[in-house]
Structure 1
Amino acid sequence: MSVVLVVEDDALIRMDLVSMLEEAGFEVVEASCADEAIAILETRLDITTVFTDIEMPGSMDGLKLAFAVRDRWPPVSIIIASGRIQPQAHEMPTEVQFLRKPYSEASVLEAVRLVA
């Protein structure tokens, strides 16, 4: 089973993502910021996908988190989402999916299934 780490500071958006992914059969772990996500990744070896927002409080945003994940956990798939920032390909790690907010449930599930 694929385990998805959802990293989103907005509690309502995070709850919606977790619900839709769990209903689709994924195991989901939640983090409200990149620092929390890194701590989870350091202890959970079963995470296969990180789904992160870009704009978050803390020591790093979602893009920096994505680069950290790619560097430290290369096999982990990464999906980045944002409603305001549209990063260029060279501003993201390789092999990353980008979703523009507001995203549909279908686009989220398609992206996760593609990388999981």
Structure 2
Amino acid sequence: MGRKIEPARVALIVEDDVEVRELAAALLEETDLQVVEAASAEEAMDYLRHHAEEVAFLFSDVRLPCLMNGVDLARTVRLKWPWVRTVLTSGQPLDGKSDSVPRDVRLMPKPWRALEVLMEAERAAQTSHRLS
């Protein structure tokens, strides 16, 4: 019998600071997930529209350029693609935005700890990507 081919499992990093994004990418390349980088929520949404079934983990900054911030991105992802494990990170207080963050989205302060990020990514890699 043939073996079912599983789609690639992806960690989507959304961060406008190139150095921070590259650091997160280097860290997540140590996991079983393939890494895709985006500089804005709009860029991430474009990727998700075409490849959401592959995304297991979203790691996003709260403050992003353009119209959509990380909290807006997290809410949209949780509604449209609920299987995507989502972590938001910020170097500053959320200024009341934490009330609008979905309950199942993890908030992680910057500077984040590599082990915490890796643990979240591993949880994402181990869970089923689709809710039946």
What is the identity percentage for the equivalent residue pairs of Structure 1 and Structure 2? 34
Q: How far, CA to CA, are the matches of 1:2 and 1:85 in structure 2?
A: 31
- Structure 1 counterpart of 2:108: 99
Bigger drift between 98-107 and 5-14 goes to 98-107
TM-score normalised by structure 2 residue count: 0.80
Equivalent in 65, 78, 84 of residue 86 of structure 2: 78
- Structure 2 counterparts to residues 33-48 of structure 1, below 5 A: 33-44=40-51, 45-48=53-56
Q: How far, CA to CA, are the matches of 1:5 and 1:25 in structure 2?
A: 13
- Structure 2 counterparts to residues 1-116 of structure 1, below 5 A: 2-44=9-51, 45-86=53-94, 87-88=97-98, 90-116=99-125
Aligned pair count? 115
Q: How far, CA to CA, are the matches of 2:54 and 2:103 in structure 1?
A: 21
Kindly report the root-mean-square deviation, in angstroms, between the aligned alpha carbons of the 2 structures.
Answer: 1.5
TM-score normalised by structure 1 residue count: 0.90
5+ residue gaps, structure 2: 1-7, 126-132
Q: Which structure is larger by alpha-carbon Rg, 1 or 2?
A: 2
5+ residue gaps, structure 1: none
